[in-house]
Amino acid sequence: MALNEEQQAQLLRHLNGELSPTEAADVAQLLKEDAEARDFLRGVAEQAVVVADVERLAQHREPAKVVSPVFNPAKWAVAAAIILVFVGSFLFTILSANKGHTAEVVAIHGPNQHLAADGVTQPELAPGTMLKIGDKLRTLSSRSWVKLKLNGGSYVMVTGRSSLRLIRDETHRAFLLRYGNLWATINTPEGTKPFSVLTETARINTSNAQFDIETKFQEISVVSVDQGSVTTERLSDGSRVEVAEDHQTIISMSQRRSLIAKRQPEPVNQWNCKMLSSPEAVFGKWLAPDENNRVRLNATPLLIGKNKTIYATNFSVRSSGSPPVMIENGSRFRIRLTTQTADPVYVGITTKKHRGGFFGKYTEKLEGDQLGQAGKARTIEIPVSDFVPLDKSLSPTAVGTELTDIWLVAPKESAELEIHKVEFVAREVAQ
């Protein structure tokens, strides 16, 4: 039976989520019984993804505009020189405005994935790869990072589990951060466009700044500025705030609170994850309490490459609303966990420079004998001096930096890793 226009509109309303439960039930019945309705719905879905694909490709294409100045040097030497300068700068402006920006991959660590604008999926990026408008990169694991060099001596780094795409913007070098963490050091010398990042909740623009963005659950963006200043715009209502050096703002979809920038608080030297009562456990699956443990965050499978799955939990110190947490000599991590096997567990941390950008990632391997009896919860203390850098280029110690996140990973599913408590404990001061 051919669908009429009203039925088609009703299907579209259903996709838009605006039908009452009764109307939705009617649509569900129609879809179960009518192949024509399903055919229409499949058509809509195919068209939706292809429209998005075509638009991405359209952004990827660079319009070719070449304008040739005409002049007579013999007759109009002086005037021509002026015109030449004028046309030259005009041409430069036109071309730089139309030419899409690029980003060169200069460093990578850990698993990542590259989706070119034409849809070709590459398993890994390599240093030297040039990303163009429409290209997307994803860093797949807590231990991953990719550093990009932009023109004008600017650098952007994505870390942890993040998704970043180069997008077209006539007036900015623009990126879309769908989720994850981005660190940027931006310069805008003459002839270079300013920099812009779009998240699910905010648009962040700057010409000169060192700052970072952390997104949480694609609903909140936290912008912290260490040098220079950035302008943030809340997408839900268009409100804006200038975030100056040493300031921070939190942008959510909710308009209940006005958008303000606050000075970053003075650093502390300890942190206690509130676990169930707060959103800082950003990765993992909550399990129901059992007789031994009220709080149980189960490591979640994370596919990080060919034949490689790890089981991970992740805790964001910065998302907890805590002041910056300084890592000092003698500091230690106190973690209560359970594993079902003697297989090793890795503890990792991400650090940033105090009032500065990304510093590095460090890890410590906990062997079976440190993990205690299988199936029994155990509290483990790990001195910060036990952590080693994930990359040779990093400083051998994280002391003197700020702690931004902590992750725990079991390479094997059978470990059934559960985390009950995570603390960062200050060094003990002698009385």
Partner 1 sequence: MGQRDRISAAAWLVVRDAHIAEDIFQNVALKAMAKEVTFDSDGALMSWAFITARREGIDWLRRQKNAPVNLDETILELLEAEWANESLGQAGSRSQALRDCLSELPAKSRELLKLRYFDGQRCEEVAASLGTKLDAVYKRLSRLHQGLKGCIETKLNQAAS
Site string for partner 1, 156-175 (x = CB under 8 A): -------x------------
H or E, element range at 31: helix 21-33
Residue 405 near residue 330, CB atoms below 8 Å: no
Q: Please, which of residues 172-191 interact with partner 1 by CB under 8 A?
A: 178
20 near partner 1 (CB under 8 A): no
Q: Cβ of residue 28: shortest distance to partner 1, in angstroms? A: 5
Angstrom distance (rounded) from CA 403 to CA 323: 10
DSSP 268: B
Site string for partner 1, 227-246 (x = CB under 8 A): --------------------
Residue 352 near residue 255, CB atoms below 8 Å: no
Write down the residue that tokens 């963006």 correspond to: 221
User: 3-state class of 77 per DSSP?
Assistant: helix
DSSP result, 291-359: SS-S--EEPEEEEEETTEEEEEEEEESGGGTPPPEE--TT-EEEEEEE-SSS--EEEEEEEE-TTSSEE
User: 3-state class of 212 per DSSP?
Assistant: strand
Tokens representing 418 are 């559960």
Distances (CA, A) of 218 to 31, 38, 180, 299, 407: 31, 31, 8, 21, 19
Residue 337's nearest CA partner among 302, 364, 310, 297 is 297
Number of residues that bind partner 1 (CB under 8 A): 52
41 near partner 1 (CB under 8 A): yes
Q: Cβ of residue 55: shortest distance to partner 1, in angstroms? A: 4
79 near partner 1 (CB under 8 A): no
Write down the residue that tokens 């009562």 correspond to: 277
Among 82, 276, 303, 388, binds partner 1 (CB under 8 A): 303
Among 208, 218, 229, 397, binds partner 1 (CB under 8 A): 218
287 near partner 1 (CB under 8 A): no
Q: Please, which of residues 338-377 interact with partner 1 by CB under 8 A?
A: none
Q: Cβ of residue 365: shortest distance to partner 1, in angstroms? A: 24
- Alpha carbons within 13 angstroms on the beta-carbon side of residue 280 total 22
Count CB neighbours of 393 within 10 A: 9
Among 61, 76, 278, 308, binds partner 1 (CB under 8 A): 308
Among 1, 51, 97, 130, binds partner 1 (CB under 8 A): 51
Mention every residue, 6+ apart, whose C-beta is less than 8 A from residue 51.
none
Closer by beta carbon to partner 1, 138 or else 143: 138
Q: Cβ of residue 26: shortest distance to partner 1, in angstroms? A: 12
254 near partner 1 (CB under 8 A): no
286 near partner 1 (CB under 8 A): no
Among 13, 274, 412, 427, binds partner 1 (CB under 8 A): 13
Rule CB under 8 A: which residues touch partner 1? Answer: 5, 8-9, 12-19, 24, 28, 31-32, 35, 38-56, 113, 115, 119, 121, 123, 138, 163, 178, 217-219, 303, 305-309
